[in-house]
A = this chain, B = another copy of it.
Amino acid sequence: MSDKPFETHRLRSTSEAPDSRAVAARLAALSHPARIEILKHLSASNSCCCREVVDRFDLAQSTVSQHLKILVEAGLVRFEPDRQRSRYAIDHAALADVSASLTALVNSCCSGR
């Protein structure tokens, strides 16, 4: 009944905009410097197994695996098991989509001025 976007801490799922929650969730996956660096590394490399990322950064294997999992769950990185390795690759379309969402948000904010 309320016309407010929140109902006790939860956003309404109005069928209108790209849903602030979805945008926020994907931005959250990008809001950690390690994950940004990992994304850059994935884009520069083509092997992209977990171990390679671990070798490149001073982070424990478990930590890297966790970051990769977050990126995969956010849909920004695709995962494909390959023998005993795990192949991680950037989902360029998804990444472009996030960028577009943010640009759209910014534009909507600027149009209101």
Q: Which residues of A contact B (CB under 8 A)?
A: 2, 4-9, 11, 20-21, 23-25, 27-28, 30-37, 39-40, 42-44, 56-59, 90, 92, 95-96, 98-99, 102-103, 105-106, 108-113
Contact = CB atoms under 8 A, between A and B. Distances in A.
A70 B50 CA distance: 34
Given A30-B24, A44-B112, A57-B6, A96 B92 contact: no
Nearest to A104: B99
B43 A108 contact: yes
Given A5-B56, A24-B30, A37-B5, A106 B99 contact: yes
A43 to B, nearest CB: 4
